Amino acid sequence: AETPNTDFGVFRKATSPLQISEDAIETGQVVCRMVVRDLSEKTLGNTRGVYTRLYTVFFFETGALENIFKYIVLSTMVMYTTIFLPTMDIIDAVATVLAVLVTEVALLFCMPTNEEFTLAERVVVGQCLFCMGILFHVVLPQLFFDSLRALVKEVFALNVIGTVLTFALTLWEWRAHRSLVRRIKSTFQGPHPWVGVFKEIDKMI
């Protein structure tokens, strides 16, 4: 009785853009559960009473590894080109950073359309600002104090710090995403093994 009597074989086909694994029921990717909605006090525009609803929910998730390499790792590697700025003349340094910024902006245009400010977009924008900050750090002392030049080791250390912050943010967001998925799935696990509580589901979804 706990196994959903749902045919989701279409999502197991190789031609389907949305995929469900063979063990989707065991892993919680597919949930079929009756819920009880109590409108005996607050009707919310409906007829007063207690109702039951049947929810069949599919959880589709795509692998994040490809996007991590395309938008985060690649952007971070491009950021490391700023290590060579202390060895360049001012004009060459400015031209190099402009080329880096064009590459980073191109990554933004390659990202899927999204209404939210996603993790990948935050990383790319943050690293654009970081590259501009490194440029000013290297160029301005040469303009005002000709004998003062930034060291390659110094810029490398700043890049390492930027990399640590980037992947710390990525790990933080990944953990927050997994926690959200677990909370959403848990809302369908009511006090009874076959019946969920609509109020808990309505809070999350």
The whole-number pLDDT of residue 160 equals: 93
Q: Among 8-12, 123-127, 141-145, which range has the highest average pLDDT?
A: 123-127
Which residue, 174, 159, 166, is CA-closest to 65?
Answer: 174
Which has more pLDDT, 5 or 194? 5
Q: Which contacts (CB < 8 Å, 24+ apart) does range 64-72 have? A: 64/174, 67/120, 68/170, 70/107, 70/110, 71/107, 71/110, 71/111, 71/120, 71/123, 71/124, 72/119, 72/120, 72/123, 72/166, 72/167, 72/170
pLDDT single digits (tens) 38-84? 777 776 666 777 777 777 778 777 777 888 888 889 899 999 988 88
**Res. 148: pLDDT tops 60:** no
Which has more pLDDT, 113 or 195? 113
**Res. 204: pLDDT tops 70:** no
| Torsion, Cα of 156, 161, 166, 171 (10° steps) | 130
Contact indicator for 152, 134 with CB cutoff of 8 Å: no
Reported confidence tier of residue 186, pLDDT bands at 50, 70, 90 = confident
Give percent of the chain above pLDDT 90: 16
**Res. 105: pLDDT tops 70:** yes
Reported confidence tier of residue 1, pLDDT bands at 50, 70, 90 = very low
Which has more pLDDT, 167 or 22? 167
Residue whose tokens read 């749902």: 6
Which residues lie across from 38 on neighbouring strands?
50
